[in-house]
A and B are shown apart, each in its own frame.
Chain A
Amino acid sequence: MRYWSLPALALLTAPGALAYPSMIAHGYTSCAACHVDPSGAGQLTQYGRGMSDLLVRWHVDPKEVESGEPSPAAGFLFGLLPTPEWLNPSGNLRGGPMVVVGSNVAVVPLVMATDLTATLELSPVVAHVALGFGLKNMGPAVVISPDPSTGELALVSREHWLGLKLFDDALVLRAGRVPVPFGLRNVEHTSAVRALTRTDVNTDQQHGVAVAFAGDLLRAEVMGLLGNYQIRPDAVRERGYAGFVELFPVEHVGIGASSLLTWAGRDLDTEVPLLRQAHGVFARFAPVEPLALLFEGDALVDTAFDAAGAPTTTVGGAAWLQADWTIIPGVHLLPAIESSAHGDGMLAGWLGAAWYPLPHTELRADAIVRETFAAAGPTSAFVGLLQLHLYL
């Protein structure tokens, strides 16, 4: 199982890209207004840049939000380089020190993202690409690596797709390397619900064809997975489907369900033929504007086949419950608990805090305590992570 066989550093590294399912607290159920991806996460649209500056950024004087427009610095390159409306360039730079208590290396410097992204929009056609340079531990997102044995200094492309927006952007068809539609698109890419379902937006994107719908009462996306063509041989590529639907029965409440089924002739982690299923539910709820509660629970069903073709099925699960509490605008506290049973059992507690001091700047600290329950007995791990995240 891939999740547990990953190196400790990768396993315990915390949040990734930019995605805020908690924006439902501001009445935003749909993701497409603020994100290039119709299902959320990653590069912001022009409107998303503006709302990020107004609703996410910390303001010394909170009245700035009421009296002013978004800062010009919220534009590309902090507003230094005007761009035409049809071109949306951006960048995603993320890194910081990680502390793993008990490891041989006290502090591990991490460079997690050095992506440059661009979206070309010539209505109704849209094209999007993200390229990162000089990264390591990017696994399935690597395009080229000078040293495949270490994966260092790799060229990474997390996403590249061509899309068609129809019916006033309510329907978006995409083909290319696309984030797998499943569950909450939370940024904590090492959370069990993301890692065990292989649906994070850090490296788990797949090549395929996706159809996304966004309406005022529901949003949904389904994707035919054709495999990740950045890994080889062909046998390790997972093919199948993934999708979700989320309903908004009342204001500030979203309730969704997800499903995924893939087949690989030789699973990348277990190296045996594997039919992998994940089915789950998720919910977003903002009882008051400063607080959003996010939940996801997934059932995991793996069917492995031995050399004789005999199947062995294992059933497990993963769950995630997080609160996103805006203490003051621009300062968030993000406690979470999670558990999983997939091979070994796991129980973890997260305490994150994020501060957005400047336009498109995030400073985030996370403390993660994980208790793993293996046959050999329980083990504990504690990780502290500090990240500076700039999204140009």
Chain B
Amino acid sequence: MRLTPSPRLRALPIVLGVLATTFAGVALAGYTLTKTPAAVQFTGIGPGGFKMVGKTAALSLVQDDKALTFVVALADLTTGIALRDRHMREKYLEVAKFPDVRLAVPLASLPNPAAGASTAGELKGTLSLHGKQREIPFKYEASCTVANVCTAKGSFTINIKEFDIVVPSYLGITLKPDVVVEAQFEGTR
């Protein structure tokens, strides 16, 4: 049994990675991230209970007059296993060509919870990943303190094949193309 199988199998379990990031629903216009590290992760699953989680804190916010965009740099995304990370960056996400993933949410749709209030719901945004763009729905929860420090978290599921990402497969373990992406951050307004 060789450990260097066909090219198709060499793919790393890894996966999927990264995909994304994103979101967080809430955004709130004029927001600035606090020093509390953001948490972005994707979860891919495979056969027999196999699960792979990739994480990064490299979330930033970019806002123009139309949208608030959540940007996650993929270079530091890690799954905890070095070789898997390398496969993920090089073979699947092609980070050198597509260094980040973005979710742009129209400002007009953004919730703006009052100080001391919280909100939750579903929004739509445009996800840019691996050179492809698709509108996706995502769920969010957000709350703001009376001091206007707000926390937000969001999640969505994507099919990586829709973003032309090869489904990772390695040594007989093939991940499912559906990947769950979750993000959480804290900001002030």
Contacts and interface: CB of A to CB of B under 8 A. Distances in A.
Contacts of B1: 46, 49, 75-76, 82-83, 85, 88-89
A53 B171 CA distance: 13
Contact of A46 (B47, B48, B171): B171
Contacts of B2: 72, 75, 79, 82
A45 B47 contact: no
A47 B51 contact: no
14 contacts: A26-B81, A27-B51, A27-B81, A32-B47, A33-B48, A47-B172, A47-B173, A49-B171, A66-B83, A69-B3, A69-B4, A70-B171, A82-B2, A168-B47
A216 B83 contact: no
Interface string B33-62: 000000000010111111111000000000
Nearest to B180: A216
B3 A66 contact: no
A170 B176 CA distance: 13
Contacts of A32: 47-50
Interface string B63-98: 000000000000000011111001000000000000
Contacts of A38: 48
A21 B145 CA distance: 43
Interface string A41-82: 000011101100111000000000111111110111001001
Given A168-B48, A169-B48, 10 more contacts: A27-B80, A33-B173, A45-B172, A50-B3, A65-B83, A67-B86, A69-B3, A76-B1, A82-B1, A88-B1
Given A33-B50, A47-B170, A74 B3 contact: yes
A74 B5 CA distance: 13
B83 A251 contact: no
Q: Which of B48, B50, B81 has the most CB of A within 10 A?
A: B48
A219 B51 CA distance: 12
A216 B3 contact: no
A98 interface: no
A69 B50 CA distance: 20
A66 B78 CA distance: 12
Contacts, number: 99
Give the interface residue-count category, chain A: 35 or more
A289 B80 CA distance: 9
Nearest to B41: A251
Contact of A53 (B3, B10, B47, B51): B3
B40 to A, nearest CB: 15
A30 interface: yes
A119 to B, nearest CB: 11
Contacts of B172: 45-47, 85
B81 A55 contact: yes
A29 interface: yes
B3 A30 contact: no
B17 to A, nearest CB: 14
Contacts of B4: 69, 72
A311 interface: no
Contacts of B43: 216
Contacts of B47: 32-33, 168-170
Q: Which of A65, A66, A67, A168 has the most CB of B within 10 A?
A: A168
A41 to B, nearest CB: 15
A30 B49 contact: yes
A215 interface: yes
A82 B4 CA distance: 11
| The 5 A-B residue pairs with the shortest CB-CB distance in the complex, in nearest-first order | A214-B49, A30-B49, A32-B48, A169-B47, A66-B82
Contacts of B46: 33
A87 to B, nearest CB: 8
A69 B83 contact: yes
Contacts of A66: 82-83, 86
A79 B80 CA distance: 27
A38 B1 CA distance: 20
B180 to A, nearest CB: 10
Interface string A269-297: 00000000000000000000100000000
